[in-house]
């Protein structure tokens, strides 16, 4: 891929991550366990798991955002560094959103066929929490589709270099 295409993708991902970080931080700064439990009585441990996953996702998104900014500020655009960064963002941010390691929620693979939201919770959750993930889902889906190339291409390059 040409440098301009990769640079455009880094810029798009930077904007996506900046918006995502703001939404996640606003939610996490305003939310407490007791507030979540008031509306929908879910297991407190489950809410802790969800909040932990959201904090981890926020950190990954912040790190990806910082990496994008560094690459875009460089005097000379480094295509290999940009591709590696896009791969890391795909692996850490996108994969963590759709399939968090804690299994606090999961992606319903049938959602593409049913037209419903892909993110499903294992227990009923507050409307606020549900709306947060719903508001992020379409952006994550769009970026995932754009970055899937890097996920496979980068792995192929790493295997070939060994």
CB burial readout 52-67, b (16+ within 10 A) else e: ebbebbbebbbbbbeb
33-82 pLDDT, tens digit per residue, is: 888 877 666 688 899 999 999 999 999 999 999 999 999 999 999 999 99
Confidence of residue 108 (pLDDT cuts 50, 70, 90): confident
Strand residue runs (E) in 85-160: 105-107, 119-121
- String of DSSP letters for 38-86: HHS---HHHHHHHHHHHHHHHHHHHHHHHHHHHHHHSSS--HHHHHHHH
80-105 pLDDT, tens digit per residue, is: 999 999 999 999 999 999 999 999 99
Indicate if the pLDDT at residue 148 is higher than 80.
yes
98 against 158, higher pLDDT: 98
Task: Identify the burial level of 147 via C-beta atoms within 10 angstroms of its C-beta, where 0-12 means exposed, 13-18 middle and 19 or more buried.
Answer: buried
Indicate if the pLDDT at residue 137 is higher than 90.
yes
Q: Tell me, what's the pLDDT at 112?
A: 58
**Contact at 8 Å (CB) between 109 and 63?**
no
Of the candidates 70, 77, 61, 67, which has an alpha carbon nearest to the alpha carbon of residue 23? Answer: 61
Q: What is the pTM of this model?
A: 0.88
Furthest-apart CA pair in the chain: how many Å?
54
114 against 87, higher pLDDT: 87
Q: Tell me, what's the pLDDT at 159?
A: 57
Q: How far apart are CA 44 and CA 57, in angstroms?
A: 20
Confidence of residue 115 (pLDDT cuts 50, 70, 90): low
What is the mean pLDDT of the segment spanning 138-159?
Answer: 77
Q: Show the tokens assigned to 56.
A: 């981890």
């Amino acid at each position: 891929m040409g440098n301009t295409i990769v640079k455009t993708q880094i810029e798009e991902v930077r904007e996506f991550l900046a918006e995502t970080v703001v939404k996640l931080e606003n939610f996490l700064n305003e939310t407490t366990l007791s507030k979540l439990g008031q509306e929908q009585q879910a297991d407190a441990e489950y809410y802790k798991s969800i909040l932990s996953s959201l904090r981890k996702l926020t950190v990954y998104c912040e790190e990806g955002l910082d990496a994008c900014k560094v690459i875009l500020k460089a005097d000379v655009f480094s295509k290999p560094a940009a591709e590696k960064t896009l791969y890391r963002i795909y692996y850490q941010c996108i994969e963590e959103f759709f399939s968090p390691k804690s299994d606090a929620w999961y992606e319903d693979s049938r959602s593409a066929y049913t037209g419903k939201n892909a993110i499903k919770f294992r227990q009923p959750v507050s409307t606020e929490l549900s709306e947060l993930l719903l508001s992020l889902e379409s952006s994550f889906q769009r970026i995932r589709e754009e970055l899937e190339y890097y996920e496979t291409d980068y792995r192929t390059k790493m295997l070939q270099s060994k």
